[in-house]
């Protein structure tokens, strides 16, 4: 798939770590060392709430408004990431989380349960694929195993406490999602180097 502004230099990618907690998307560009954290998950997002009677309708309406607002935020984030890639003349790498269901599964190498309880996560992933395709930016999917647990500097398996990553070998410490984004950018593709536009596009 060609780039609008030519092919990127070999190995020039931004890695995007998508999350269901904390920043919605963390973008890292190893060539420059740049990091951008986009969006914040609202407090209590995805938390079930029991109610009855008229309160149920009010809760449903509130959730609809929240879903609409999150959809708008996802569109802004997708536009921003694709704009970064075009400005840097590089490709975008994402973890290959498609087609596996992921309900009740744990993201390999991650300490927290990673599920599809928040459909907006996958809405954002799809938006990124579509917008990147339309802009002529290549997206590569990488194996998600251990992107959150291995040090992006030396490759040693580190430890996480909440969102803090620490490497026992080289002493590197950073936000865990930043470490993951750098790992994603450096990872090899896994046989799906370019994502064509889906037949049923989600636009906005």
Would you state the pLDDT for residue 78? 96
Within a domain: residue 198? no
pLDDT tens-digit profile, the chain (204 residues): 322 333 444 568 999 999 878 899 999 999 999 999 999 865 544 444 555 566 766 666 666 566 667 788 999 999 999 999 999 999 999 998 765 444 434 444 443 344 444 567 788 888 999 999 999 999 998 888 889 899 999 999 999 999 999 999 999 999 999 999 999 999 986 544 444 433 334 444
CATH number at residue 36: 3.30.420
Predicted model pTM: 0.74
- C-alpha count within 13 angstroms, C-beta hemisphere, residue 87: 8
Q: Provide the pLDDT for residue 201.
A: 40
What is the reported pLDDT for 146? Answer: 87
Q: How many domains does the chain have?
A: 1
Is residue 152 included in any domain, yes or no?
yes
- The residue segments making up the domain with residue 99 are 13-186
Q: Is residue 195 part of a domain?
A: no
Task: Confirm whether 79 is domain-assigned.
Answer: yes
CA distance 81 to 38: 9
pLDDT at site 111: 38
In a domain, 90, yes or no: yes
Q: Is residue 160 part of a domain?
A: yes
Residue 8 lies in a domain: no
Residue 56 placed within a domain: yes
For position 53, what pLDDT does the model report? 61
Q: Would you state the pLDDT for residue 96?
A: 85
């Amino acid at each position: 798939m060609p780039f609008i502004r030519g092919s990127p230099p070999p190995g020039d990618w931004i890695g995007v770590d998508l999350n269901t907690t904390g920043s919605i998307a963390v973008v890292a560009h190893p060539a420059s060392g740049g990091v951008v954290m986009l969006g914040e998950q609202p407090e209590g997002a995805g938390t079930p709430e029991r109610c009855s009677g008229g309160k149920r309708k009010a809760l449903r309406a509130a959730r609809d408004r929240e879903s609409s607002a999150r959809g708008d935020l996802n569109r802004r984030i997708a536009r921003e990431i694709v704009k970064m890639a075009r400005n840097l003349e590089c490709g975008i790498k994402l973890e290959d989380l498609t087609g596996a269901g992921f309900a009740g599964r744990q993201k390999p190498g991650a300490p927290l349960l990673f599920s599809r309880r928040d459909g907006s996560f996958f809405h954002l992933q799809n938006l990124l694929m579509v917008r990147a395709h339309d802009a002529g930016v290549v997206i590569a999917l990488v194996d998600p195993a251990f992107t959150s647990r291995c040090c992006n500097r030396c490759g040693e398996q580190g430890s996480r406490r909440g969102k803090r990553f620490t490497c026992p070998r080289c002493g590197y410490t950073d936000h865990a999602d930043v470490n993951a984004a750098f790992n994603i950018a450096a990872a090899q593709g896994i046989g799906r180097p370019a994502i064509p536009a889906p037949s049923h596009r989600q636009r906005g």
